[in-house]
Chains A and B, each alone.
Chain A
Amino acid sequence: ENSPAPLPERAIYGFALFLGSWFGFMLYLIWAYVPETWLFSLGLTYWPQKYWAVALPAYLLVAIGIGYVLLFGINMMSTAPLNSPDTITDNYAKKQQQKKFQEEAIPALRDIPISEVNRMFFLPEK
């Protein structure tokens, strides 16, 4: 019931959004370029200051640029430091249950403790 297939309702929503966005863009261009006196003579007096026609796109572009730097910084801050036990284990690994070993079956998936992994990698088996 959640398929992405086209439906009549979705077509109508899409067309309404398309018309709405074109209308919004035309309104923005008219507000930014038409001189104030012409708009006043038509009787439309309650507009925001034209300063915002330039300020809002500038703010948006600077915010997008800062967003890249901010995301990079947030990633660096959430990396666990070298002395935190989060690099070794976490809550799911601590609470995992041991499944019984069955003959001839693939062993169940589990988080192997780091001491065991180290012994296997770095101590040569005689």
Chain B
Amino acid sequence: ERRYRSASGAPIALRRRQHSASCRELAVRCPRLQLRSLSAATSAAWLAAYGLFVLSENSMVLSAAIFIMLIGLIIYLHFVKIDQESLLIIGSLGIQMTSSYASGKESTTFIEMNQVKDVVINEAIHMQKVIYYLCILLQDPGDPQGVSEVVPLFQSSKPRLDCLIEVYKSCQEILEQRKTAPQSS
């Protein structure tokens, strides 16, 4: 497991596993939710609610603040905070992307190898910055020259170029076997 940095400076870790000659798994782990940032956010929100209570003399403000904090924390952990994003490439079968959320939820997407044209590092403008990101180029099976769709990978961990180059090299080693292996239909 190697340590890298994300585009915004947070530390991330890349883990590579080779299951067989044509199957690799690459997982990027983001930093977990820190207790100090959670405590800071909770204290700030409850202080603001207490200030509102002092101004308005209405005790519903305090219970509403507690309720909103709990619901907001659950929603954040279940829908927003991604702990780990992994990429599983099986040479003859396809590519599978898995995102694991902090609440334990996992969402997977699978793309079969016929539709995959290439895996490339692209650079694009994102929120007043130019970032490098890894993406899968999809092709129409009937039109092998054109790019029908672009699927960006590692969207929430946003690794920097050094980590992306490692992932790119691993993917290209598997994808090159497609050309040399005999076509089986």
The 8 Å CB contact of B168, one of A80, A84, A118, is A118
Contacts A82-B150, A123-B172 known; list 4 others, CB within 8 Å: A83-B135, A83-B152, A88-B150, A119-B172
Does more than half of chain B's interface fall in helix, strand or loop, or is it mixed?
Answer: strand
Cross-chain contact B150 with A83 (CB below 8 angstroms): yes
Q: 6 closest pairs, A vs B, by CB?
A: A87-B124, A82-B152, A115-B118, A118-B120, A85-B147, A114-B120
| Residue ID in chain A nearest B131 by CB atoms | A82
Q: What's the interface size class on A, roughly? A: 10 to 19
The 8 Å CB contact of B121, one of A79, A83, A122, is A122
Knowing A94-B146, A122-B165, say if A115 contacts B122 (CB, 8 Å). Answer: no
A98 to B168, CA, bound (A): 29
User: Which residues from chain A contact B137 at a C-beta distance below 8 Å?
Assistant: 88, 114-115
| Residue ID in chain B nearest A72 by CB atoms | B128
Binary CB contact string for chain B from 112 to 143 against chain A (1 if under 8 A, 0 otherwise):
00000110111011100000010101000000
| Contact residues of B between 76 and 95, Cβ < 8 Å to A | none
Q: Determine whether A89 belongs to the interface, using a CB cutoff of 8 Å to chain B.
A: yes
Q: Name which of B120, B126, B133 has the most chain A CB atoms within 10 A of its CB.
A: B120
Chain B residues within CB distance 8 Å of chain A: 117-118, 120-122, 124-126, 133, 135, 137, 146-152, 155, 165, 168-169, 172
Chain A residues within CB distance 8 Å of chain B: 79-80, 82-85, 87-89, 94, 114-115, 118-119, 122-123
User: Which residues from chain A contact B165 at a C-beta distance below 8 Å?
Assistant: 122
User: Which residues from chain B contact A118 at a C-beta distance below 8 Å?
Assistant: 120-121, 168
Cross-chain contact A89 with B147 (CB below 8 angstroms): yes
| Residue ID in chain A nearest B127 by CB atoms | A76
Knowing A88-B137, A118-B120, say if A83 contacts B169 (CB, 8 Å). Answer: no
Cross-chain contact A84 with B150 (CB below 8 angstroms): yes
Cross-chain contact A87 with B146 (CB below 8 angstroms): no
A83 to B169, CA, bound (A): 22
The 8 Å CB contact of A82, one of B120, B126, B148, is B126
The 8 Å CB contact of A115, one of B120, B150, B155, B169, is B120
Cross-chain contact A122 with B150 (CB below 8 angstroms): no
Cross-chain contact B172 with A88 (CB below 8 angstroms): no
A84 to B137, CA, bound (A): 10
Cross-chain contact B122 with A87 (CB below 8 angstroms): yes
Knowing A83-B152, A115-B120, A118-B121, say if A88 contacts B147 (CB, 8 Å). Answer: yes
Cross-chain contact B169 with A82 (CB below 8 angstroms): no
Q: How far is the CB of A113 from chain B (nearest CB, A)?
A: 9
User: Which residues from chain A contact B146 at a C-beta distance below 8 Å?
Assistant: 94
